[in-house]
Amino acid sequence: MAGLTVAVAGLDFVSPVIIPAGPGGFGTELREHYDLTALGAFTAKTVTPHARIGNPPPRLVDTGFGLINSIGLQNPGIAAFLDTVYPTLLPFPTHLFLSIAGETVNEFEGMARTLAGVEGFDLLELNLSCPNVEASCGVIGANPQAVRDVVMAVRHAFPDRPIAAKLPFEVPDVPGAVRACEQAGIDVLTLFNCPQAARFDVTTGKPFLARVTGGFSGPALKPLTLAKLLVVRSLTHLPIIGMGGAWTADDVLEFRCAGADLVGMGLHTLQDPVEVCVIARNLGS
């Protein structure tokens, strides 16, 4: 099925397929080596107020039917990103989304205020749900009041372009979190970040990951994600970027059946970005 152009938050997308934050890095290598024009959008990896070195290795472990990652939001910090990385991305060949994470309302608001004066990207995603950091930026999305506070502050500081809230897979109060996003003025919901997962080496009894747990992604996650998307779609008319298990073109169509407008293909991007771009082109205009 081709011709699945999508309109979300005032933006027109040539395909429902996007690359979510993380697997494609900041996009510099992908932009240089691959034709990204068929993608609906590309999301740069999350940046934070200050540089983060990320978690100690090992950071990745195969599950046989997916991958557990424990990167830990490694990034140079927003100032260095804007000074050294961002200029190399422009003009980007498709819609460009930026992703930010902070530990407090003030950190989110400060980054949003900085980015309000930066041209060249189309949507700001608030990472309220990283599953592999110790700080509070990993749990904001689980607290409806915290979600409301962050989104309201960012909306005030970043008034002229769409904002998306990326919520955790294990959000305990789904109706409350969705209602908080609506009340605070969010434009798009990104559903969901990776659920927590772990693996152990049976020869030593120790976990494979240095941080023990990380975020699970892969095709095995798809049925669980689809069920949760159905719940959210019954609660709101907000546009949804669905992700968590999409691997094939048919998977993208299933996500749309469950209520997603756009569909992120993360782990597949890590494995074969060319095939992701082919899927995007086949489904798009």
pLDDT in tens, 178-229: 999 999 999 999 999 999 999 999 999 999 999 999 999 999 999 999 999 9
Alpha-carbon separation of residue 71 from 50, 125, 196, 246 (angstroms) = 16, 19, 13, 21
Which percentage of the chain shows pLDDT scores above 70?
A: 96
* Mean of pLDDT values over 38-42: 98
CB 18 within 8 A of CB 268: no
pLDDT over 90, % of the chain: 92
Strands 95-100 and 60-62, bridge-based pairing = unpaired
C-alpha span between 70 and 215 (Å, rounded) = 6
Domains located in the chain, CATH noted:
6-283 (3.20.20.70)
Q: Which amino acid is at 114?
A: T
Is 82's pLDDT higher than 80? yes
- pLDDT for res 136: 45
Residue pointed to by tokens 């902070």: 102
Between 197 and 1, the higher pLDDT residue: 197
Q: Amino acid identity, residue 21?
A: A
For 157-166, the pLDDT digits (tens) are: 999 999 999 9
CB of 174 within 8 A of CB of 235? yes
- pLDDT for residue 180: 97
Q: Which residues are catalytic?
A: 130
- Mean confidence (pLDDT) of the chain: 94
The structure's pTM equals 0.95
Distance of alpha carbon 201 from alpha carbon 210, whole angstroms: 12
pLDDT at 39 over 80: yes
Q: What size, in residues, is the chain? A: 285
Beta carbons of 222 and 235 less than 8 angstroms apart: no
Q: Which pair of tokens denotes residue 105?
A: 């309302």
Judged against a pLDDT cut of 90, whether residue 130 lies above it is answered with: no
